[in-house]
């Protein structure tokens, strides 16, 4: 595809990126703008230049980047940002290693927040939702990870193996993150299985 064609592929299309100030999201916003998309970027504080300035100066941002204030634990917070979008890229998630209360600081915002965003997407009949996962959600299942082994979508970290190996969410900061990612992934499968069931398997 020529660069001119790539720049046109998103023309007239509106997409949303949650947690847009973050590391991965900032790259997604940059690439979407470069391809001509109109981007709705959610941040917790739209008035904080530390969260928005690096995005506002991107090529295309002046005309096609719009900030929305949204917080993971506020129900319905993402409704306005996702309404009318073709695709939602959900990257907003706590990504800290130094936590005192893992449930309040990591698990709740990640798990309840993802459900909250998915709820807004369902209300707005969004066709495509992309959620960032992590190697943390698949790496700990007790299977060997030798060079000939293929790690694919059937892999999940196993909470019992995590427990046995003391990879519990309260044991150490880094492991909080592993557990959080695992729960978010299990939740996603449950959410979409439920929807597929409701629509008699017609969900693509």
Ligand X SMILES: NC(=O)c1ccc[n+]([C@@H]2O[C@H](COP(=O)([O-])OP(=O)(O)OC[C@H]3O[C@@H](n4cnc5c(N)ncnc54)[C@H](OP(=O)(O)O)[C@@H]3O)[C@@H](O)[C@H]2O)c1
Q: 67 phi and psi, to 5 degrees?
A: -90, 140
Angle at which helix 49-56 crosses helix 23-34, to 10 degrees, equals 30
Q: Between 7 and 131, whose beta carbon lies closer to ligand X?
A: 131
Of the pair 11, 57, the CB lying nearest ligand X is at 57
Please, are residues 78 and 89 in contact by the beta-carbon 8 Å criterion? no
Identified binder of ligand X from the candidate list 55, 58, 72, 182, rule CB under 6 A:
72
Looking only at residues 108 through 127 of this chain, which bind ligand X when binding is defined by CB under 6 A? 109, 113
- Say how far apart CA 182 and CA 109 lie, in whole Å: 14
Report the nearest approach of ligand X to the CB of residue 1 (Å): 27
Task: Identify the residue among 41, 94, 102, 179 touching ligand X (CB under 6 A).
Answer: 94
Half-sphere exposure of 147 (CA within 13 A, CB side): 0
Question: What is the rounded distance in angstroms from the CA atom of residue 33 to the CA atom of residue 44?
Answer: 21
Q: Which of 10, 15, 39, 51 binds ligand X (CB under 6 A)?
A: 51
Candidates 71, 86, 105, 186: give the one binding ligand X (CB under 6 A).
71
Residues 163-182 that bind ligand X (CB under 6 A): 181
Contact between 156 and ligand X by CB under 6 A: the answer reads: no
Taking contact as CB under 6 A, which single stretch among the options 29-37, 87-95, 144-152, 192-200 is the one that binds ligand X? 87-95
Q: CA 33 to CA 121: how far, in whole Å?
A: 21
Measured from the Cβ of residue 140, the count of other Cβ atoms closer than 10 Å reads 23
Instruction: By CB under 6 A, name the binding residues for ligand X.
Output: 19, 21-25, 43-44, 51, 71-73, 91-95, 109, 113, 132, 134, 181
């Amino acid at each position: 595809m020529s660069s001119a064609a790539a720049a046109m592929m998103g023309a007239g299309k509106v997409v949303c990126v949650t947690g847009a100030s973050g590391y991965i999201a900032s790259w997604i916003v940059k690439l979407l703008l470069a391809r001509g998309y109109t981007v709705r970027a959610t941040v917790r504080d739209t008035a904080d230049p530390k969260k928005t300035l690096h995005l506002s100066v991107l090529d295309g941002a002046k005309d096609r980047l719009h900030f929305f204030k949204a917080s993971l634990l506020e129900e319905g917070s993402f409704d306005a940002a996702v309404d009318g979008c073709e695709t939602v890229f959900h990257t907003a998630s706590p990504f800290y290693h130094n936590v005192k209360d893992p449930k309040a600081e990591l698990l709740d915002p990640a798990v309840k927040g993802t459900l909250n965003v998915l709820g807004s997407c369902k209300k707005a009949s969004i066709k495509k939702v992309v959620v960032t996962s992590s190697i943390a959600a698949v790496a700990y299942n007790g299977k060997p990870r030798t060079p000939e082994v293929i790690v694919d979508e059937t892999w999940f970290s196993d909470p019992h193996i995590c427990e046995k190996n003391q990879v519990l969410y309260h044991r150490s900061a880094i492991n909080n993150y592993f557990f959080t990612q695992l729960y978010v992934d299990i939740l996603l499968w449950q959410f979409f299985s439920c929807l597929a069931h409701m629509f008699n398997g017609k969900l693509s």
